Amino acid sequence: MKLVSAKEMQSLDRLAMERYGIPGIVLMENASKAVADVAADFLEGHRGTRAVVLCGKGNNGGDGFGAARWLQNYGYEVEVLLINAKPEEVQGDAALELQMYLQGGGRLLSVVSVENEIAIIEEECQQADVLIDAMLGTGFKGELRGSYKKVCQIVNASGKAVVAVDVPTGVNADSGAADEDSIMAEATVTMQLVKVGMLQYPARECVGKLYIAELGMPANLLAELNSKKYRLTAEIVGDLLPLRKRDAHKGDAGRVVVVAGSRGFIGAAAMACRAVVKSGAGLLSLLTGESVAELLAIKLDEAMVHPLDEDAQGELTEAAVEAIVERANGADVLAIGPGLGTGKRTQAAVREVLLQIDKPVVIDADALTALAGHTYILKEMQVPKVLTPHPGEFARLTGLSIAEVNSKRLELAVQYAREWQAVVVLKGAATVIGCPDGTVYINPTGCEAMATGGSGDVLTGIIAGLAGQGITLQEATLCGVYLHGLAGELAADGRLGLAANEIALQLPRVRQLVQESDDVEELVCNPAVKVLE
């Protein structure tokens, strides 16, 4: 599903009018009716009869005026509050919508001074069965102030269901930043295409269920949109997942080498390996320090465990490098890092392996630490590679602060994917996947229960396991991130206390769901997205 910035959406609106001759009022009418239809569903669901529409003076308000007229035509009682403006200040297509609403007998209260009308606004909100937020829309940046901030506080305190128009007031449509008093909507009706900020936190918490209103823009125009931003979907993943022949044998299903584990950190290796197996890989070899190899061989029934030479401190030696490179170059994919250790000698060994490997590689955890201050290695590597850092690891790799990383997740993932010529998986709530060609994906699956030790090790195993099964490393990454989040949601089932191994156990089920079910998005994804017909 293609995503847009606010500026890109404005450009589409302009081109629809200028190149294709579609009047702006037609686009606004289609938007208005979509909002009214969603609001009517809420009114029916709450057995309500009264809607209060809070409008600004811009085009977002115009959608609100139109929605009010449609709801009135449907037989509902409607009141419009024009916030921080007088009717004569409304211009353009929004003014036409306001005029049509008023000529049809619509009621309007102009609230020029919110401070003097707080009691009235509170009363109107309390008497409503549903509230429609049409105040600011995609043009909002920064922080809410003055009248709008106060109205948002009143709306949120009312306890009423809110339907937001395009984006909730107080939400930045591009960055996903949200004012502390942003409207908390139960549903948002966004116009034509989802705005990229709506899928990022904290904005994602404000959106509620997300509806897409198709405005009647020409398909050719939408196809020409040069956006490389996408929401990862079950449809995308289902098309990429490898199919398996009925007569396949284990060698056909992928040969995966995992280099992981060290003294005190065998769990990370075990979790990554189990995920490789549960993702469907045929053959798995675990290479780990000789001091922990026997323990892991007992722990893992499906893996072939090979000990690596280490020194008295448990760190990998030059002989270990040779063994890793030889065995990995005979496989389909290498995953390196989980629980491997951060000692100087081990870190140097990791860097040597990365310089010598000639197969696709998944770089995670302690292998990412080995690259801090040495990212030139990524530019020298001539093989497909994926990095799976959490914000702290990404900060160490780039020299940025964690706060900087979290404030520009999409931009940074794309920037460094291009610079390092690697797929970059920036983990976290709404994981972002940046690709070397500038394409970026936002993953909608996953839940707060997945904030547990070992979850990232499982992701590494999933990506490596899928990459061995005949798809590219980038394709395996897209599939792996989506399936990982989906498996976590199903395993948690709305409860905390999830163990990372439980995520891996759900993988066969979620793979089947994605390939065979039409309603995966409705089952788990937050926010769920529905295209209005």
- b or e along 50-68 (b: 16 or more beta carbons within 10 Å of the residue's beta carbon)? ebbbbbbbbbbbbbbbbbb
Report the Cα 332 to chain-centroid distance in Å.
Answer: 29
pLDDT at 512: 93
The residues, ordered by sequence, that sit 6+ positions from 205 with a Cβ below 8 Å of its Cβ are 178, 184
Q: Are 127 and 81 in contact (CB under 8 A)?
A: no
Bridge partners of 361, per DSSP, are 334, 385
Task: Look up residue 184 and give its amino acid.
Answer: M
Name the nearest CA neighbour of 40 among 130, 134, 100.
130
Which residue ranges in the chain fall short of pLDDT 70? 252, 522-528, 533
Statement: the pTM of the whole predicted model exceeds 0.95 = no
Give 94's contacts (C-beta < 8 A, 6+ positions apart): 28, 57, 58, 59, 61, 62, 65
Q: How crowded is residue 142: how many other Cβ atoms within 10 Å of its Cβ? A: 9
**CA-closest candidate to residue 418, choices 436, 439, 440, 441:** 436
Q: What is the pLDDT of residues 170-200, one digit of tens each?
A: 999 999 999 999 999 999 999 999 999 999 9
* Residue-level pLDDT at 523: 67
Residues of the chain with CATH 3.40.1190.20: 234-240+252-531
**Alpha helix stretches (DSSP H) within 357-431:** 366-371, 376-380, 391-398, 402-407, 409-420
- 107-126: burial string, b at 16+ Cβ within 10 Å, e else: ebebbeebeebeeebeebbe
DSSP 319-355: HHHHHHHHHHTTSSEEEE-TT----HHHHHHHHHHHH
H or E segment at 423? Answer: strand 423-426
- The domain 3-226 belongs to what CATH superfamily? YjeF N-terminal domain (3.40.50.10260)
The whole-angstrom separation of Cα 95 and Cα 385 is 54
Largest distance between two CA atoms of the chain? 87
pLDDT number for residue 247: 74
Which residues touch 201 (CB under 8 Å, ≥6 apart)? 176, 429, 430
Specify the DSSP class assigned to residue 157.
H
Q: Tell me: domain 234-240+252-531, CATH 3.40.1190.20, correct?
A: yes
- Alpha helix (H) residue ranges in 160-265: 203-207, 219-224, 234-240
d(CA 64, CA 214): 16
Contact of 478 with 433, CB cutoff 8 Å: yes
Half-sphere exposure of 432 (CA within 13 A, CB side): 30
Sign of the CA dihedral running 199, 203, 205, 210: negative
- 3-class state of residue 521 by DSSP: helix
Q: Which of 153, 138, 164, 156 is nearest to 53 (CA)?
A: 164
| CATH code 3.40.50.10260 region(s) in the chain | 3-226
Closest alpha carbon to 364 in 475, 268, 288, 473:
268
Rounded to 5°, the CA angle 132-134-140 comes to 135
